[in-house]
Amino acid sequence: MAKQSPYEKLLDKSNNENIIFSDSNGNLMEFEQVAVLSLNDEIFAILHPINMGYDKDEVIVYNVFFENNQYELLEVEDEILLEQVNEEYQRMYLQNK
């Protein structure tokens, strides 16, 4: 079986392992997966940074893009969009409870 890229692992619903990405400077960043969800035909990842100075209950929301045959994560900073992602996450959580 071919090794999955970090993005393929992130989007693989059966994978619950931590994900390691490298930033534009080649620095490795490890994240615990909280959730991946679809909202308004876009994919969002809710990730908890590991060993990066964040509190254990802090997360970062990323928009997952696929362009030119490659994936890219873009941190969501828009407060309205963050609230919409949070509402969808809460809805999914309550539905699976």
> Tokens 């990066």 map to which residue?
52
What phi and psi values does residue 79 have, to the nearest 5 degrees?
A: -60, -40
Query: With contact defined as beta carbons under 8 Å apart, do 19 and 4 qualify?
Result: no
Per-residue confidence (pLDDT) for residue 69, from 0 to 100? 83
**For position 2, what pLDDT does the model report?**
67
pLDDT along the chain (97 residues), means of 10: 82 91 89 94 95 92 90 94 96 84
Residue 44 is predicted with a pLDDT of 97
At 95 the pLDDT is: 87
In this structure, what is the dihedral angle of CA atoms 38, 85, 55, 66, given to the nearest 10 degrees? Answer: 40
What pLDDT sits at residue 75? 94
